[in-house]
Amino acid sequence: MALSVVELDELHQQLDLWREQGLSIGFVPTMGGLHEGHCSLMRQAQSLCDRLVVSIFVNPTQFAPHEDLEDYPRDAQGDHNKSEAAGADLVWLAQHQDIYPPNWSTTIVPQGVGLGLETDHRPHFFTGVATVVARLLTLVRPDVAVFGEKDYQQLLVVRQLNDDLRLGAKIVGGRLIRDGDGLALSSRNVYLGPEAREQARTVPKALQLMCEAYASGERDPSTLNALGEVTLSDQGLSIDYCRIVSSTNLEAPMDLLDDSPQSWRALIAARCHGIRLLDNCALDDPPWR
């Protein structure tokens, strides 16, 4: 049975107890609306620790005023059950006043890997993410925390944040999980009707074509980017970015790509029927093999 905890004091009492018993703490922060992608992170985290904490908090500071904060999927009981089944020992339904107490006036503005790509389209986003992740990691103080490669830039931002502020967690990346039709699982996919869903499948198809072209010997990043962009725009998707970047620092290649496909990642953000889709893969790890 996973404990369901709302109060911060109760969370800390339980964490203190586990630490006194010498047990290591794993952590998977989420915004709820849980799906198999989240559950796979939980199973991975559980294999790396003695006690697993899952947090559920829809973080308002990473939404712009026009975005879907109010409509974000919320299902506390369903999320608890899924977390428990995936190995959580404690599900923390974090309250706004505990994350952002009344006098809270600090924000963290990531630089480096936090600049460009997402920030070009959602300027507020990583400030909100970094601030809430710093807060969550400080409150839970996990030994290990697992974040999904689905949000690849976010994973690098969190790693940098954890290093810069010496938050003390080991940050581990979890594999991106897809639906049977190739679409990356996302809490927002529930908003895609059948027509939009069909169109959304173009995103993994674009990644697939980029990977196949690389496997066939294409090494010019502009040609590969253009291939992805044409695939997306032909199907009517509105592209925020479709770009091959370095897996380690997200910089654009200066020259032709080398023969090490793990060094390069294709990242896509595109809008489909008003839903923003985010996807990526290493050049030798296409959506379909």
Q: Which residues belong to the active site?
A: 38
- CA 57 to chain centroid: 14
- Choose one: 98-106, 114-122, 142-150, 189-197; the region binding ligand AMP (CB under 6 A): 142-150
Cα-Cα-Cα-Cα dihedral sign, residues 209, 214, 217, 221: positive
Q: How far is CA 48 from the centre of its chain?
A: 19
The distance of closest approach from Cβ of residue 22 to ligand AMP in the complex, given in angstroms and rounded to an integer, is 27
Q: How far is the CB of 37 from ligand AMP (least distance, A)?
A: 2
- How many residues bind ligand AMP, per CB under 6 A? 17
By beta-carbon proximity to ligand AMP, the closer residue of 118 and 225 is: 118
* Contact characters 248-277, ligand AMP, x per CB under 6 A: ------------------------------
**Closest CB to ligand AMP among residues 211, 278:** 278
In the chain the first and final C-alpha atoms are separated, in Å, by 38
Choose between 59 and 231: whose C-beta lies nearer to ligand AMP.
59
Binders of ligand AMP among residues 170 to 189 (CB under 6 A) are 174, 176-177, 184-187
Residues of span 143-172 touching ligand AMP by CB under 6 A? 147-148, 150-151
Sheet (strand 264-272) strand order: 238-246, 264-272, 275-282
Q: Which is nearer to ligand AMP, 38 or 201 (CB)?
A: 38
- CB nearer ligand AMP, residue 62 or residue 225: 62
DSSP 141-201: --SEEEEEGGGHHHHHHHHHHHHHTT--PEEEEE---B-TTSPBP-GGGGG--HHHHHHHT
To the nearest whole angstrom, how small is the minimum distance from the Cβ of residue 30 to ligand AMP? 4
14-73 binders of ligand AMP (CB under 6 A): 30-31, 37-38, 40-41
Total residue count of the chain as it appears in this document? 289
For the CB of residue 172, give the shortest distance to ligand AMP in the complex, in Å.
10
How distant, in Å, are the alpha carbons of 5, 42, 115, 229 from that of 76? 12, 17, 33, 38
Strand partners, 256: none
CA dist list (Å): 69 to 57, 62, 110, 127, 152: 11, 9, 22, 16, 22
Q: Nearer to ligand AMP by C-beta: 117 or 224?
A: 117
80 makes contact with ligand AMP (CB under 6 A): no
Residues in contact with ligand AMP, shown as a per-residue x/- string from 187 to 226 under the rule CB under 6 A: x---------------------------------------
As measured in angstroms, the least distance from the Cβ of 29 to ligand AMP is 6
Residues of the shown chain interacting with ligand AMP in the complex, contacts defined by CB under 6 A: 30-31, 37-38, 40-41, 147-148, 150-151, 174, 176-177, 184-187
